[in-house]
């Protein structure tokens, strides 16, 4: 596999902004197919459309669950996951209950991740568990989440949604997303069967190469065209 193809197959092309229309979905699925990325990551209602748009390609369809804040009841997340899988999603990116993690209710968090993992695996889908590391910032909490994901058999741990906006001292809202120190911490604390996904803030080729070097198998991205066109120039 050449380097450009290798990098393309790291990318989960994100089509998640709240304002995106069906026309936007069509355009972005065409981008995903053009570059033959690993997958698209779409909103729940768009799964059927994405499956149809990407029929005949090697691009998989993934879906977010409890996105972006993770606040739905476990039963609702289970139903949402079952619906997404029935609609054709083969990858699920689930946001944990952030408040329960911050409050230290690890039994709840484990039960939630286990429930979604079981639904995914019974439907032949893989599960990526989003920690939202702009909110869950304490090392001990990130480590605990890695241990839980390893215990219940999750396929991936993932940093962020890309929508974990934190109020800054000047009053603006922003986020860091995937940082190298956090990725390394996660990589060090997952089991050998669990993979790592970066998401949020990876917008150019150098950043993509950095997260790959930190141990990521996948990376969520909207700047797919920018990164892969640069890769073509650099690695041609």
List residues with catalytic annotation: 93, 158, 197
Q: How far apart are CA 131 and CA 95, in angstroms?
A: 7
Q: How far apart are CA 15 and CA 27, in angstroms?
A: 10
**Terminal CA-to-CA distance of the chain, rounded, Å?**
13
Q: How far apart are CA 78 and CA 94, in angstroms?
A: 10
Q: How far is CA 71 from the centre of its chain?
A: 17
Are the C-beta atoms of residues 144 and 107 closer than 8 Å to each other?
no
Residue linked to tokens 């741990």: 157
**DSSP label of 68:** T
Are the C-beta atoms of residues 121 and 153 closer than 8 Å to each other?
yes
Give the up-direction half-sphere exposure of residue 146: CA atoms within 13 A in the CB hemisphere: 24
């Amino acid at each position: 596999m050449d380097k450009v193809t290798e990098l393309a197959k790291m990318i989960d092309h994100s089509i998640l902004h709240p304002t995106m229309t069906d026309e936007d979905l069509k355009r972005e699925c065409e981008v995903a197919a053009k570059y033959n990325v690993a997958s698209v990551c779409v909103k729940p209602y768009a799964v059927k459309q994405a499956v149809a748009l990407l029929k005949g390609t090697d691009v998989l369809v993934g879906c977010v669950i409890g996105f972006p804040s993770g606040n739905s009841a476990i039963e609702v997340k289970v139903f949402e996951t079952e619906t997404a899988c029935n609609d054709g999603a083969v990858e699920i990116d689930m946001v944990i209950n952030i408040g329960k993690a911050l409050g230290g209710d690890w039994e709840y968090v484990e039960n939630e991740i286990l429930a979604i993992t079981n639904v995914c695996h019974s439907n032949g889908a893989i599960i990526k568990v989003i920690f939202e590391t702009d909110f869950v910032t304490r090392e001990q909490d990130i480590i605990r989440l890695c241990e839980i994901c390893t215990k219940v058999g999750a396929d991936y741990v993932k940093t962020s949604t890309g929508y974990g906006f934190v109020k800054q001292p000047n009053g603006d809202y922003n986020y860091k997303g995937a940082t190298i120190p956090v990725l390394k911490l996660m990589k060090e604390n997952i089991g050998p069967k669990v993979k790592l996904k970066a998401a949020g803030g990876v917008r150019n080729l150098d950043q993509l190469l950095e997260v790959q070097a930190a141990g990521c198998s996948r990376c969520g991205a909207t700047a797919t065209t920018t990164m892969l066109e640069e890769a073509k120039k650099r690695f041609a």
